[in-house]
A and B are shown apart, each in its own frame.
Chain A
Amino acid sequence: MSLTKTERAIIVSMWGKISTQADTIGTETLERLFLSYPQTKTYFPHFDLHAGSAQLRAHGSKVVAAVGDAVKSIDNIAGALAKLSELHAYILRVDPVNFKLLSHCLLVTVAARFPADFTAEAHAAWDKFMSVVSSVLTEKYR
């Protein structure tokens, strides 16, 4: 599964807007993830996950920054996320089902903040893009 030229253009152009709120989007995405899917908290026993926690904010920023890296190298996402892919495969070992949950929460956050931009076409492009990112991050699992 690879992104068409049109899909890439949509992602890159929307990222321009999204990146201006990157940190809060990251935090909100994680808040949504932990509230809707409490089982995902099992990966963060070492974190204070209360709303407004510094760790939550820092981690949210990290996650969105990585998405940004994938956008900036949208023609070579595997290359851009190679190190993260190894991290997830050998150290973090987050079960693959969770990437869909995080992707969904990111899309919900973007839809809530940019409703006019989040057309059906844009929605499809973002869903596909996050699916590619998730594949890259799990491709070294076994």
Chain B
Amino acid sequence: MVHFTVEEKAVITSLWGKVNVEEAGGEALGRLLVVYPWTQRFFDNFGNLSSASAIMGNPKVKAHGKKVLTSLGEAIKNMDDLKGTFAHLSELHCDRLHVDPENFKLLGNELVIVLAKYFGKDFTPQVQAAWQKMVAGVAIALAHKYH
């Protein structure tokens, strides 16, 4: 189980307070689809994903990105029980969505890069390390109910 120190929780929560969830969600999900095009396999009904600009401007991508990051926001309020928080979503991603858990790691890393882009120097190596732990914990939690 991932264990966050008091400092790590503070770092994560404080940065999250400054994130525009709608914008960051769209950026992170969009970049996942651009950088790793095979991830588009889960989004056949999203319309135009034919180029980087089409993807980044696609309203369905933005809406779904916002949904995903909003869920992450909920997890940040429950960092001591990520598995519990994501239990239902884990079952959903396994039984209905059939998403390979490897994709959770990819998206997590895309989010880290988007945060680096937004926060520049403030996204120090220490801040990054806390966030890598966070996204790793979320990925593990989302895979936890797979069978």
Cβ of A112 < 8 Å from any Cβ of B? yes
Interface of A is mostly: helix
Cβ of B48 < 8 Å from any Cβ of A? no
B126 close to A112 (CB less than 8 A):
no
1/0 per residue, CB under 8 A from B, across A15-44: the answer is 000000000000010011001110000000
How many A residues, CB 8 Å from partner? 21
Cβ of A113 < 8 Å from any Cβ of B? yes
The interface-forming segment of A60-68, A84-92, A103-111 is A103-111
Instruction: Give bound CA distance, A36 to B109, whole Å.
Output: 12
B34 close to A35 (CB less than 8 A):
no
B119 in complex: contacting residue of A32, A104, A112, A118, CB < 8 Å: A112
B52 close to A108 (CB less than 8 A):
no
The interface-forming segment of B14-22, B79-87, B93-101, B110-118 is B110-118
Cβ of B62 < 8 Å from any Cβ of A? no
- The residues of B that contact A35 with a CB separation of less than 8 Å are 125-126, 128-129
CB-nearest residue of chain A to B113: A111
The distance from the CB of A102 to the nearest CB of chain B, in whole angstroms, is 13
The distance from the CB of B89 to the nearest CB of chain A, in whole angstroms, is 25
**Further contacts, 18 of them, CB under 8 A, given A108-B116, A124-B34:** A32-B128, A35-B126, A36-B128, A37-B132, A104-B109, A104-B112, A108-B113, A111-B114, A113-B120, A115-B118, A118-B113, A119-B52, A120-B34, A120-B56, A121-B52, A124-B31, A124-B35, A127-B35
